[in-house]
Chain A
Amino acid sequence: MASAETNVNLSASPASAAQGLLVSLPPLPQEAFELAVGNLALAFPGEPVLVATPDTSSQSSGSPLRLLSYNPTTVSATPWILTAADYLNAYKIAQDNQATACLVLGAEAQSLSPEAIRALAMSALQSDLTVARYDLGPREGLVNAAILYPVTRALFGTRPRFPLAIDVGLSLKMAGRLAAAAQRFTSAGQNDALLWPLNEAASANCTIAEIPVTPRAFPHPTSSDLNAVLAQVAGSLFADVDAKASYWQRARGTQPQPSIPTSTPVAESPADIASMLDAFRLAYSNLHEIWSLVLPPNSLLGLKKLSVMSPETFRMPDNLWVRIIYDFTLAYRLRTINRGHLMGALTPLYLAWTASHLTLISNGTPPEKHIQDLAAAFEADKPYLVSRWRWPDRFNP
């Protein structure tokens, strides 16, 4: 199992700290670029850090950093998240410049504080994979809370809270591994394919670290259509789970329960969940036949009960959501229905979970506690997925 650590030795001497480090910046406007370079200069005072940027016109006045402009060999059309093209470009530059570690920063990188950048860099020089941990509000990062984090933690035994972090630190070995995975997509013209660094690191038994990064501004998805973005992200995760089935089916120890922040939960004003409930009920009446191709009778019964619940008491049990995600993962693998249709049918169920989650936190439950309980439920029900994966025709409760 990949080891995970959250304490990073920041006391490395400045002279050796940034030796062989490459920082890869995304395309930024001139003003943001100068701000980013300024933060990097503060993070690495007087250190010969190589900073790569695809903006050939970007110039920074008086910066001590080594700026390298390059023409990316593969271009991503999805700038809000790191894609296969980004990992491939970063590895090529690192390899060409004999870098030993690479820090890949995502969109809005100028909002990162110098302390956070340095912490990520120091960790990248010590661990194979370093991912950022963000401090999000209770109504942010909901897809990560509902699907990405619990599934990655349950199946791959990884602790980091954000499997699809947009700021990652990579050793050259890890960067090469991700580049090899990216090459399979870019050679087929899929430059915007998503990679899952945590899953790759876990299956390769690499060391993983997690660094808190606050504050940070987050980019918005290119498309405002929840259905399309959810299909892209969740579909990519399901495909990765399918590809690494031989790894996660082997028994793994459960993760130690991470400490939950003890701050007093602020009672959130009730979110407007009416539109989400309407969408779920409309989907229940119209998509029930499609859901019945994917979900077993127990889950359909649970959804039926949900469809008649009042908004005030709307609560999707954690085990129901776990079964839904696991069954959709299996249906993705078996191609029970067209994959595009499958992901489209998942969207209303995700909205139902979101409505349930928001109702719960508006009643005083700490959001992080609910998310951790959900992740524990995913871990506890992993044998269900393993059984159905191995015997899809025989085991169908």
Chain B
Amino acid sequence: MWQQVELALGQSTHRVLVKLASFLPALVALLLAVIILALIGAALAALLRRTLTAAKFDERLAHNSIAPISDWSPANSPTALISRVVFWGCVLIGCFIGISAFDAAYPGDAQISVYVFPYITHAIGAVLLLIAGTVIARFLERSILIGAVNAKLQYARMLSIGIKWLVLVLTAAMVLDHLQIGGGVVELAFGILFGGIVLTLALAVGLGSRDIVSRSLERSASTLDPIPGDPDYKSPTHTETLRHF
């Protein structure tokens, strides 16, 4: 009996080691592909950056272009944006090549790339969604904060944070849905959370802050300059009205 146990253990160990030995080259091929393509991407990005800087690409674009591409570029430099896109594109290509190499090097019957490639594209889409959602949340937060402060709303910060978290929660739900994680649980949780935030804001602003809102609105209305033609418009006298322009 002990001989059979020894035989079973020996055979299973041998099988695992063989699988590991056949797995390692595939893994090395994957890593090599990613590393080499990353190095090529870095070199291309550096070359592109030097070329565009020498050609004063940023200045020409800022001078001629009305589109606010610089607003969306890292460090407000389209050159940096393009070079980073090239670098990460090469890294991505390296990942795809690496997975194909893994598939080719791995002697198993299962075609891993058939399952991995679609998920990688979903993952890339999810990352892009996350980045876009975060950028939009920050932009909206700042826009609403500044607008509410200039409108002299006392609850400006609360409003801006509420909007930011609404967008972030929505983004997180979209990302999880895109990655097919959680399924119905995520959808339900998102619905409850989102609806809860909206209801809370509505109750806080509509009921709890009723007096504050009406005072803010009255204050805002009294400070607005009526335009000529408005029934409340009065010809300004120099002792009463400021003319900023």
Contact = CB atoms under 8 A, between A and B. Distances in A.
B146 A344 contact: yes
Nearest to B67: A188
B142 interface: yes
A190 B244 contact: no
With most chain A CB atoms within 10 A of its CB, the pick from B70, B143, B150, B224 is: B150
A138 B152 CA distance: 26
B244 A335 contact: no
Interface in A236-258: 243
B142 A354 contact: no
A67 to B, nearest CB: 27
Contacts of B66: 188, 190
Nearest to B233: A220
Given A334-B76, A337-B142, A339-B71, A143 B149 contact: no
Given A286-B145, A338-B71, A229 B244 contact: yes
A160 interface: no
A139 B224 CA distance: 17
A105 B125 CA distance: 56
A279 interface: yes
A230 B226 CA distance: 17
B146 A290 contact: yes
Contacts of A287: 145-146, 149
B110 interface: no
B223 A275 contact: yes
A229 B71 contact: no
Contacts of B154: 282
B185 interface: no
Contact of A335 (B70, B152, B228): B70
A230 to B, nearest CB: 7
Interface stretch (B20-28, B42-50, B234-242): B234-242
Interface size class of B (residues with CB under 8 A): 20 to 34
A142 B63 CA distance: 31
A383 interface: no
A286 B152 CA distance: 11
Interface in B207-245: 219, 223-228, 238-239, 241-245
Nearest to A350: B244
Interface string A132-148: 00001111111110000
Contacts of A14: none
Interface string B195-213: 0000000000000000000
A84 to B, nearest CB: 13
Interface of B: 63, 66, 70-71, 76, 139, 142-143, 145-147, 149-150, 152, 154, 156-157, 219, 223-228, 238-239, 241-245
8 contacts: A138-B238, A140-B243, A224-B227, A279-B149, A286-B149, A334-B76, A339-B71, A344-B147
